[in-house]
Amino acid sequence: MAIEVFNRYEHKYLLDRATYEKVLSIMDEHMELDSHNENHEPYQIANIYFDTEDDHLIRHSLSKPIYKEKLRLRAYGVPDEDSKVFLEMKKKFRGLVNKRRTVLRLGEAYKFVETGVIPEFRDYMNRQVLKEMAYFLSINKLRPKVYLAYDRVAYHEKGNPDLRISFDMNIRTRRTDVRLEAGTHGERLLEGDVYLMEIKTYTAMPLWLAHMLNELDIKRIRFSKYGTEFRQYINGSAAG
């Protein structure tokens, strides 16, 4: 069974194309491609973010609280009603990210979030995570608010699966037809040739990685895909 509970720190950086290529050349000595990246091609990740009618979860998150949480549904590629997907609850406390997820079939996931009723248990599900999500759904009336997809290239350190570095590109979003099975089309979230680099680890960065960030003058930023989309949505609504 795949790992379904994660505890780690996530550091984010925005890179232009030239810096991205320099980073890859340095990483080549220390990192290896994720198994999803066959033939060095990016793979697609698609998400639905759930929130309340008044967007309470994302508004709270953007206020920079000590603790925050969110619920999303994730698929790799475009699923159908019977495809297995990941329902994930992501919590963050003082910078430490805790992610808990369970496998569900797409139809089961939609019904669970809509009703809050745990589906009939199957061997691919995580019973404890489902119970935690059911409680979260009981105190938050959630609905699908945003579809968000991107292409990813991911690496892990040779001999150390704890350190992962991913690059997300072509980030696209939509607020209509918010269904995973409807395809990966959407409006571009970021202008230009931009790459979102995320360093994910529970331990300290290795020296080679710290030196690379310093040499290339790569600065850590605060960045949330859903948060950025929401700000743009609010600003667009205000302008309209």
What is the C-alpha separation between 179 and 47, in angstroms, rounded?
Answer: 9
Q: What is the pLDDT, as a whole number, of residue 238? A: 60
Band the pLDDT of 2: cuts 50, 70, 90: low
What is the C-alpha separation between 84 and 148, in angstroms, rounded?
Answer: 18
Find the Cα–Cα–Cα–Cα dihedral 105, 164, 173, 106, rounded to 10°: 0
Beta carbons of 50 and 213 less than 8 angstroms apart: no
What's the DSSP call for residue 28? T
pTM: 0.93
Domains of the chain: 5-239 (3.20.100.30)
Question: What angle is formed at CA 127 by the lines to CA 121 and CA 129, rounded to 5 degrees?
Answer: 135
Report the share of the chain in percent with pLDDT over 90: 87
Q: What is the pLDDT, as a whole number, of residue 1? A: 44
pLDDT digits (tens, 9 = 90+) for 143-156: 999 999 999 999 99
User: Residue 68 CA to chain centroid, in angstroms?
Assistant: 15
pLDDT digits (tens, 9 = 90+) for 159-203: 888 899 999 999 999 999 999 999 999 999 999 999 999 999 988
What is the C-alpha separation between 83 and 8, in angstroms, rounded?
Answer: 28
pLDDT digits (tens, 9 = 90+) for 48-106: 999 999 999 999 999 999 999 999 999 999 999 999 999 999 999 988 999 999 999 99
Mean pLDDT of 31-50: 90
Q: How far is CA 38 from CA 79, 98, 155, 161, in A?
A: 19, 28, 12, 18
Residue type for 186, please? G
Band the pLDDT of 240: cuts 50, 70, 90: low
SS (H, E, C) 43-106: EEEEEEEEECCCCHHHHHHHCCCCEEEEEEEEEECCCCCCCEEEEEEEEEECCEEEEEEEEEEH
